[in-house]
Chains A and B, each alone.
Chain A
């Protein structure tokens, strides 16, 4: 598996400036996310797939995701005081939140990121991850 190829997919900065901004970090404000992973382990792949799915379902068009491999950039992990991988950090909107794990529990991910779940979404869609 080519790590660069894998990660490059997620460097798409999807942001629509024309959308209305809600005060105090409303449901449509922009999410800045960083996912820290260790190399190209199976767990890394699961986490990326899960995050990808959650973002496209819940945050379509209003998130920026960066993926950091701690083996390649350990200083980033040091600066952010990351212990566990995978760790997902939500920089914006405030407050700063962290979710650790392979993100297979979608409810917890949304809870951790403080994303208000869309009421129309069927519950069965939440855990398709293996």
Chain B
């Protein structure tokens, strides 16, 4: 670091771009230039405009220098993000320096030249609106406008240093040809700017995944590595700062009802208020019922509930709930419940996270249920899925919301799911629902596998589903191997003998099935 005792540390400018300031540890270095490099479609222009839009929101006027798209195109394209550029121009908060090539004008080069006019125009624009921020989009397009690359290089250096002299914080975009190749196409862009941020839009397993990485900040600190981000209408760039979210988690000792008295008892008195519970089981074991009870319990307690359903349609959910004796429609009319049904493939996981966060912020629920996470597994890569769960978990904990996610196991008997094995460490409680085959009959079993910070019932209990929901029965005392998916009936004599060998109740899980929770 170049920090000296008699020099103040590099000041940061809070950009106002959602969560970018977290990974940038306060914002972009003030009065300096930052290169935003990325492949085509990685979101550079949106970033550049968002940087100015966020500044205008904070009362910092901006200048947009465009070398690629015409100012008119930029104005039109940015409308969908909710940024009314022409209005800001009228109010004197924003001005364009339109340096895009005009196809109608033929230009001939006859001798040496420089980009003095451009610099003068930028200076003029900065003075005109008293700009604090400047976005230049993009450097590469300058190279393609002129044949003399050496001149362009030299001039870009001059413009970058000129920008610093104007007392503005600038963002310069540059193209790169490869998500993991050289920083930028012409090999000099990164030297023009003090700082480098890389935007990626990598194709992994047939899905696109956007990430943002701060490669270097001269003289100041930032978070390392790639962070997922997304670009949403009426929002622009939204960075998902995984680590920052985990740090801000709270923990509550307040217990709330799961909506089922017996289940509350098994959990040692109910769920913790800002906990996240994973309900895992094969299809038809009662996951949606557990969720329905959870929502009913919340509504009965005067808590607003949000249901995100990715597997069943709204009508199916309402019908099922009615069958169990719960009136979803009334809960909705009372404003206690909001049901969001959608196809999981409709958008990427980052977009889902942002959408869900927005819905939660708007509706303000105390309980959120997601049925099921497994439906989202295939929307993105495993990594993206994990990040989604981390992001959602930390978000709802931060909001002190009680969460319940469901996961579907692949096999009917026992087994675990991708969801379960990947996110079990992220959840506070795990409830397993399993089929138990006994003498030609399928029975249902439930066990509380994990309950962070609380004692809980270790038994695997039989339960039946009827009107009124789940009726908890006796533990399967004389069956072993339920969780493993190979239930075996044990004669009562054997059970007695085994139990007499241990004073206390032993955990009868098979160790190879459940670990790391």
Q: In the bound complex, what is the Cα–Cα distance between A46 and B124 (angstroms)?
A: 26
User: Are A100 and B125 in contact, CB atoms less than 8 angstroms apart?
Assistant: no
Question: In the complex, which residues of chain B have a beta carbon less than 8 angstroms from the beta carbon of A53?
Answer: none
With A38-B120, A81-B99, A87-B117 known as contacts, the answer to whether A104 contacts B111 (CB < 8 A) is yes
Q: Which B residues fall within an 8 A CB radius of A?
A: 97-99, 102, 104-118, 120-121, 123-125, 145-146
Question: In the complex, which residues of chain A have a beta carbon less than 8 angstroms from the beta carbon of B116?
Answer: 37-39, 41, 70-71, 84-85
User: Are A38 and B98 in contact, CB atoms less than 8 angstroms apart?
Assistant: no
User: Are A43 and B112 in contact, CB atoms less than 8 angstroms apart?
Assistant: yes
Question: In the complex, which residues of chain B have a beta carbon less than 8 angstroms from the beta carbon of A106?
Answer: 110
CB distance from A86 to the nearest CB of B (A): 6
User: Are A78 and B108 in contact, CB atoms less than 8 angstroms apart?
Assistant: no
* A98 adjacent to chain B (CB < 8 Å): yes
Q: In the bound complex, what is the Cα–Cα distance between A36 and B114 (angstroms)?
A: 12
User: Are A111 and B108 in contact, CB atoms less than 8 angstroms apart?
Assistant: yes
A-B Cβ contacts below 8 A, count:
107
With A96-B105, A111-B108, A112-B108 known as contacts, the answer to whether A102 contacts B113 (CB < 8 A) is yes
Q: In the bound complex, what is the Cα–Cα distance between A86 and B113 (angstroms)?
A: 6
For the side of the interface on A, what is the size category? 35 or more
- The 9 A-B pairs of least Cβ separation, nearest first, read A38-B116, A112-B108, A74-B124, A101-B111, A108-B110, A104-B111, A102-B111, A85-B116, A82-B117
CB nearest neighbor in A for B125:
A78
Q: In the bound complex, what is the Cα–Cα distance between A33 and B97 (angstroms)?
A: 24
Question: In the complex, which residues of chain B have a beta carbon less than 8 angstroms from the beta carbon of A43?
Answer: 112-114
Residue among B98, B102, B112, B117 having the largest count of chain A Cβ atoms under 10 Å: B117
* A109 adjacent to chain B (CB < 8 Å): yes
CB distance from A111 to the nearest CB of B (A): 6
Question: In the complex, which residues of chain A have a beta carbon less than 8 angstroms from the beta carbon of B118?
Answer: 82-84
State the main secondary structure of chain B at its contact with A: mixed
* A75 adjacent to chain B (CB < 8 Å): yes
User: Are B112 and A102 in contact, CB atoms less than 8 angstroms apart?
Assistant: yes
Question: In the complex, which residues of chain B have a beta carbon less than 8 angstroms from the beta carbon of A74?
Answer: 120-121, 123-124
CB nearest neighbor in A for B107:
A98
User: Are A99 and B110 in contact, CB atoms less than 8 angstroms apart?
Assistant: yes
* A95 adjacent to chain B (CB < 8 Å): yes
Cβ contacts A to B, 27 pairs, < 8 Å: A38-B117, A43-B112, A43-B113, A70-B120, A74-B124, A75-B124, A77-B120, A83-B118, A83-B145, A84-B114, A84-B115, A84-B116, A84-B146, A87-B117, A96-B104, A96-B105, A97-B106, A99-B109, A100-B110, A101-B109, A101-B110, A101-B111, A101-B112, A106-B110, A109-B110, A112-B107, A112-B110
User: Are B111 and A83 in contact, CB atoms less than 8 angstroms apart?
Assistant: no
Q: In the bound complex, what is the Cα–Cα distance between A42 and B3 (angstroms)?
A: 39
Question: In the complex, which residues of chain B have a beta carbon less than 8 angstroms from the beta carbon of A97?
Answer: 105-106, 108
Question: In the complex, which residues of chain B have a beta carbon less than 8 angstroms from the beta carbon of A71?
Answer: 116, 120
* A59 adjacent to chain B (CB < 8 Å): no
CB distance from B193 to the nearest CB of A (A): 20
Q: In the bound complex, what is the Cα–Cα distance between A51 and B114 (angstroms)?
A: 17
Q: In the bound complex, what is the Cα–Cα distance between A41 and B114 (angstroms)?
A: 11
In-complex Cβ contact of A99 among B97, B107, B123 (8 A): B107
CB nearest neighbor in B for A41:
B116
User: Are B110 and A85 in contact, CB atoms less than 8 angstroms apart?
Assistant: no
Question: In the complex, which residues of chain A have a beta carbon less than 8 angstroms from the beta carbon of B114?
Answer: 38, 43, 84-85
Q: In the bound complex, what is the Cα–Cα distance between A23 and B102 (angstroms)?
A: 28
CB distance from A102 to the nearest CB of B (A): 4
Question: In the complex, which residues of chain A have a beta carbon less than 8 angstroms from the beta carbon of B115?
Answer: 83-85
Question: In the complex, which residues of chain A have a beta carbon less than 8 angstroms from the beta carbon of B120?
Answer: 38, 70-71, 74, 77
CB distance from B92 to the nearest CB of A (A): 15
* A48 adjacent to chain B (CB < 8 Å): no
User: Are A100 and B106 in contact, CB atoms less than 8 angstroms apart?
Assistant: no
CB nearest neighbor in B for A112:
B108
Question: In the complex, which residues of chain A have a beta carbon less than 8 angstroms from the beta carbon of B109?
Answer: 99-101, 108
CB distance from B110 to the nearest CB of A (A): 4
Question: In the complex, which residues of chain A have a beta carbon less than 8 angstroms from the beta carbon of B102?
Answer: 81
Question: In the complex, which residues of chain B have a beta carbon less than 8 angstroms from the beta carbon of A100?
Answer: 107-110, 113
User: Are A104 and B110 in contact, CB atoms less than 8 angstroms apart?
Assistant: yes
CB distance from B209 to the nearest CB of A (A): 37
With A84-B146, A95-B106, A96-B105 known as contacts, the answer to whether A78 contacts B121 (CB < 8 A) is yes
Q: In the bound complex, what is the Cα–Cα distance between A105 and B104 (angstroms)?
A: 23
Additional A-B contacts beyond A38-B114, A84-B146, A112-B108 (12; CB < 8 A)? A43-B112, A43-B114, A70-B117, A71-B120, A78-B124, A82-B118, A86-B113, A96-B104, A108-B110, A109-B110, A112-B106, A112-B107
Q: In the bound complex, what is the Cα–Cα distance between A74 and B120 (angstroms)?
A: 6
With A38-B117, A38-B120, A74-B120 known as contacts, the answer to whether A81 contacts B98 (CB < 8 A) is yes
Residue among A71, A75, A81, A84 having the largest count of chain B Cβ atoms under 10 Å: A84
CB nearest neighbor in A for B106:
A97
In-complex Cβ contact of A85 among B106, B117, B124 (8 A): B117
Question: In the complex, which residues of chain A have a beta carbon less than 8 angstroms from the beta carbon of B98?
Answer: 81
Q: In the bound complex, what is the Cα–Cα distance between A85 and B121 (angstroms)?
A: 12
* A65 adjacent to chain B (CB < 8 Å): no
Residue among A74, A82, A85, A112 having the largest count of chain B Cβ atoms under 10 Å: A74
